Amino acid sequence: MPKFNQPPLILANWKMNLTLAENNKLVKALIKGINNYLKDFTIAIFPSFIALADTQELIKGYNLALGAQDVFWKSTGPYTGEVSVVMLQELGVKYVIVGHSERRNYLKETDQMVNHKVITALTVGITPILCVGETFSQRQQGNKDLVIAEQIKRALAGVQLDAEAKLIIAYEPVWVIGSGQAVTGEEAEHTAQVVRQTLYDLWPAAAVNKQVRIIYGGSVDANNIVDFLPSKIISGVLVGSASVDARRFISLVKKLAD
Ligand code: PGA
């Protein structure tokens, strides 16, 4: 086991995959396969909304956390189809992904909407995982770092980092998500530094170091996980494709523990 400053975060974003039956089968297989590693890592799974309740039951008694893939920013009311933080809280949800590039792209989620979601999650003590990342064309125009810094500033506008607040920023280059080809460890680390600097410009460095974690996401799998962890700034990974298959996810976790 390599030396980590703190247990790495391994977050499994199952996206819009799996029927309820498949979801529950995967949860059981994961518990069996990674149970020995749950003391060394902070592992959270992010099923679809319809599977949260079952998943909560299945993971009871295990050191495995529950996350949601999205949230709305009002706690109750006439918002057809939306799910609130109050509902998530009731199901024991500890983390929520906000501003994933797939939502920004397909559902036209804006930085302002993302900002509302971050604030709402923080209000009830659910840790937001704020996703930021550049598209390929933004990168080609030489704007990568600028795009990341701007996304962070807009998503965190007016956000107070209270003493108990916890926040995770996931750097996810949009063009590598689901591609099978991650960026290099050096590149992820460089961008994580841009993220950290942007946060230092918003809040006191000591608070950022203590309360905010920066992670990488985008085609992470068992073959490249050790390119990203351990690292000075990056303290976890957000895994999509390689997390929806029990064998692949278990081998990723084992690889990191080797
Ligand atoms: P991927 O997805 O691992 O399939 O690239 C990551 C994500 O979108 O969070």
Q: Which atom of ligand 1 is nearest to the CA of 97?
A: 9
Nearest CA to ligand 1 atom 3: 240
Count of alpha carbons within 13 Å of 65, Cβ hemisphere only? 20
Asked whether 241 lines ligand 1 (CB < 6 A), one says: yes
Q: pLDDT, tens digit, for every residue of 172-230? A: 999 999 999 999 999 999 999 999 999 999 999 999 999 999 999 999 999 999 999 99
Q: How high is the pLDDT of residue 208?
A: 98
What is the rounded CA–CA span in Å between residue 171 and residue 188? 8
Angle at 45 between CA 65 and CA 68, to 5 degrees: 90
Instruction: Yes or no: say if 132 and 99 are a contact pair by the CB < 8 Å rule.
Output: yes
Q: pLDDT, tens digit, for every residue of 30-75? A: 999 999 999 999 999 999 999 999 999 999 999 999 999 999 999 9
Nearest CA to ligand 1 atom 1: 240
Active site residues: 100, 172
Instruction: Yes or no: say if 237 and 216 are a contact pair by the CB < 8 Å rule.
Output: yes
Instruction: Yes or no: say if 217 and 170 are a contact pair by the CB < 8 Å rule.
Output: yes
Ramachandran angles phi, psi of 169, nearest 5°: -110, 125
Count of alpha carbons within 13 Å of 55, Cβ hemisphere only? 29
Please choose, from the candidates 255, 257, 215, the residue with its C-alpha nearest in 3D space to the C-alpha of residue 67. 215
What is the rounded CA–CA span in Å between residue 129 and residue 9? 11
Count of alpha carbons within 13 Å of 47, Cβ hemisphere only? 29
How is residue 126 annotated by DSSP?
P
Q: How high is the pLDDT of residue 13?
A: 98
